[in-house]
């Protein structure tokens, strides 16, 4: 048995749920960080939020916030489903 074969059949199945969970967690964290950075002027997701808040377009602001919450919830649900599927 070669080391690559051992990795794919012994090591990877054991660490894949944690690896997938951590990857999706970092993706969720990056979505939140992009929103914060955009609000302080670095562009990204929060730039649109800051723009509409500055013009007092609260309906558009609420839509943007809802979209961000939905993205984070989808990543969280995807993480939960992937971990559950991988640990069966």
In a domain, 34, yes or no: no
Domain count, the chain: 1
User: Does 46 reside within a domain?
Assistant: yes
Domain-located, residue 87: yes
Tens of pLDDT along 9-35? Answer: 989 888 888 888 889 889 888 888 888
pLDDT tens-digit series, residues 44-76: 778 888 888 889 999 999 998 898 889 888 988
Question: 51 or 43, which is more confident?
Answer: 51
DSSP states along 4-45: HHHIIIIIHHHHHHHHHHHHHHHHHHHHHHHHHHHHTTS-SH
What residues make up the domain containing 72? 41-88
Residue 64 forms part of a structural domain: yes
pLDDT for residue 39: 79
Is residue 43 over pLDDT 80?
no
């Amino acid at each position: 048995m070669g080391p690559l074969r051992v990795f794919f059949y012994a090591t990877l199945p054991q660490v894949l749920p944690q690896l997938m969970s951590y990857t999706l967690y970092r993706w969720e964290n990056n979505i939140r960080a992009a929103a914060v950075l955009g609000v302080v002027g670095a562009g990204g997701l929060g730039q649109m939020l800051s723009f509409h808040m500055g013009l007092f377009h609260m309906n558009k602001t609420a839509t943007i916030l809802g979209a961000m919450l939905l993205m984070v919830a989808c990543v969280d649900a995807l993480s939960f489903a992937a971990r559950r599927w991988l640990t069966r």
